[in-house]
Structure 1
Amino acid sequence: MIKPLARQFFMRVSYDGSKYSGVRWNPLKKTVESTIDKFFETYVGKQRCSLRATSRTDKGVHAASNILHLRIKDPTRAINIDHLAYLLNHYLWKEEEDIRILELIETPFFRHPVELIKQREYVYRFAIFKEILVPVSKNTTVNTVRTQALPKQGLGNIFHEKSCVTLSPPFSVDKLLESAELLSGTTNIYNCTTSDGHREMERKKMGNKSYVRDIQVEVVRGHPMLLDLQPQLADKLEFWEIHFKSQSYINKQIRRMVGLMVGYAKEEYSLEFLKKVLSGQSLSHDDILTLHRPYATFSMPPQGLFLKNVELDNEMMEEASLRNPYIDLLANLSHLNFILHKNRTTCSSKPVTLKDLTQKTQAQLSEKINLNDLTLKNKGKDAKDFSLVKTDLGVVKVSIY
């Protein structure tokens, strides 16, 4: 059996986003990736592995279950998945990090991580004050009540300041449910992202059609996490959750969609205006001023947002244990790519070509990599091809140009 020269794993993690500047690696900030990467740099070696998040979360956004892609490049290293997860959790606990490894799963080495993701589910949690909790004089304006008498929107309450957002009245749950029906289904999210999101879409050359997404939106009743310790708050607050299910998202999409729903429930936007924003057409200058006017809700704070789950494609995941001629061929090509990489000169970062290998003997190649599972047959000094063998598909010829 031919084994690939690199092994891939999915690392399911949970973390408190309030302590990290997002999940993706950033050399100038502390992120979830950079924190875990320190462990592998110490115990595995920086050049022998790579780590990359499959689902991006911004600063302050939490994850109940996110997935990071781990690639081990050392073919000789034996990996005990359970032991590695235990060591990593112990390291994170010792460093007082708010990250935990839930499980490690080996994935097919020939599959790109994006192919294995079926859909992602997010949850936004918030609480609504049922009534004004402090006496207010008749001359007090609504804006004064919101900024002085009640906790400021987004700061949370006494036991949810890092995981829930509090909203002050007025608030209509019926309008919240109505907006959820409007957003659910095929939705154009062009106006639900930032300039960074638009630049990312242009860089990927996705086109305007990619803004049309299939999204499932559901509003359900939530509950306080510490109800037993503070039961008196249950009579003063209503907890709600908005669940989002989709294959992919763009920058700040969910927080802005929740902002539109909350703004409509707080009677800051009309139904016609909400439909116009979700139509995907470019907004006028007056419409933009309406979205960004003082005391209006557009983009919600990050602390109420959780990445609940990243669902995997089980059929593709099971391919990791399958053996067939096609997979053996891919493993052979993985060997060949590794050989080309290992035999490059130290003074140049450019990989060698198959033609360069014709100048080396098999003994010279064996100095850098074990060729027990792969045979490269050089057909003469001026050979125009190599033959990759050891596959049930027969001899595979790779031409040199």
Structure 2
Amino acid sequence: MKARYLTYFSYIGTKFRSSEKIWLKNGKNYPDPESIQGLMEIGLLKLRPLNYPNLTLSSRTDGGVHALNSSAHFDLERYGTNVYDPEYISNELNKFFYKIETSIYVKKCLRVSDEFSARFNAVSRTYLYRLAVLKPNIVLPESSIIASYLPIEEWKRCHFIRVPGFDIEKFKEGAKYLVGYHDFTTFMKFNKLTTHKQNRRFLQSFDVKPGRPLITSYSCTQDSVFDYWDIEIKGRSFVHNQIRRMVGTLISVAIGKIPPEEIKVMLQVPSKHSWHTFIQNCPPDGLYLCNVEYNPEDLVYQKENIVQQPNTESDSDEK
């Protein structure tokens, strides 16, 4: 019997090429240990299902981007009327990830209807971008590099910048123009595959609030030379590189390279020609997928007189 499952999971994306596999011409049923999707499929194969467990991600992230709570669905098939227990799947996957020392953690797994899609049933996605700016009263030697002042806990976890005259209020002012329904073509990464795609999206919120460093009991005794900011962005979907390009644009606003009103122009004239080439696309280090939300009724599975059987030791080669 085949059953569909939804899983919620977290990962640190620093060492991964991307969350999504590279699609090959000869099909998609192949292992890809350099991606989140591929590695999770390898873990599911340890359960010895009858089918290849193709994983459908709710959200695709670039290499270096992290996730606090992402999601995906997959189908598993067994002989007879038996189906895999969701808690058993979670435990076996986490055993596998622990064994190979990789930074993926399955939070939970649940059975859903066969028509459910982790991607298309999502009603919203929330992202966080962590930004740290050198405090205006701190004067560092010109010859010094900013990495010399970073807490080691923050390695590849936050975007640190050293820019003169950073004004967070201008940053917030520019962000107001981004909220709402717009064509975000100007803020997408251009390539031949996405040139003709529809790029109108609804941005539900764009909140900027003080953040804090990831610290240990030792580090907290040290004086921080950075102001931390948490940039929380919520919408149903986003175009490729949209968040990192929006944050990069707002940094240019904050240091006076462009006025806040220029954001409105970039939205009203959606084109790659409206993008200012001096704007730096922010690195993936500071970006986190925080949550994927669904309507609760979509997560309810109707059992339809199917009896779940306990799993046997033959389900996994790790027992």
User: Which TM-score applies when normalising by structure 1?
Assistant: 0.67
**Hey, what does 1:160 align to over in structure 2?**
154
Is the contact made by 1:157 and 1:166 (CA closer than 8 Å) also made in structure 2? no
**Hey, what does 2:277 align to over in structure 1?**
292
State how far apart, in whole Å, the 1-side matches of 2:33 and 2:262 are: 38
Q: Secondary structure of the residue that 2:42 maps to in structure 1?
A: helix
User: Which TM-score applies when normalising by structure 2?
Assistant: 0.83
**Hey, what does 2:6 align to over in structure 1?**
10
**Hey, what does 2:255 align to over in structure 1?**
266
State how far apart, in whole Å, the 1-side matches of 2:140 and 2:302 are: 67
Match of 1:64 among 50, 57, 68: 68
What do you get for the CA RMSD once the two structures are aligned? 2.7
Q: Percent identity?
A: 22
Alignment of 1:223-372 (within 5 A): 223-226=212-215, 228-282=217-271, 284=273, 288=275, 291-293=276-278, 297-318=279-300, 320-321=301-302
Supply the AA of the counterpart residue of 2:134: F
State how far apart, in whole Å, the 2-side matches of 1:181 and 1:234 are: 33
For structure 2, the 5+ residue unaligned runs are 23-30, 307-319
Deviation at 1:150, TM superposition (A): 4.2
Match of 2:182 among 181, 184, 187: 187
State how far apart, in whole Å, the 1-side matches of 2:32 and 2:49 are: 21
Q: Which is bigger in relative contact order (C-alpha 8 A, separation at least 6)?
A: 2
State how far apart, in whole Å, the 2-side matches of 1:158 and 1:106 are: 40
**Hey, what does 1:78 align to over in structure 2?**
83
State how far apart, in whole Å, the 1-side matches of 2:217 and 2:280 are: 33
Supply the AA of the counterpart residue of 1:292: T
Q: 1:134 to 1:265 in 2, by over 3 A?
A: closer
Q: What is the aligned length?
A: 296
Structure with bigger helix share is: 1
Q: Deviations over 1:177-232 (max 9, x none)?
A: 11121212223211010123x73363xxx54xx42423311111111110532125
Deviation at 1:72, TM superposition (A): 1.2
State how far apart, in whole Å, the 2-side matches of 1:178 and 1:135 are: 29
1:219 is aligned to 2:205: no
1:47 is aligned to 2:44: no
Q: 1:39 to 1:28 in 2, by over 3 A?
A: closer
State how far apart, in whole Å, the 1-side matches of 2:222 and 2:254 are: 22
**Hey, what does 2:169 align to over in structure 1?**
174
Supply the AA of the counterpart residue of 1:167: I
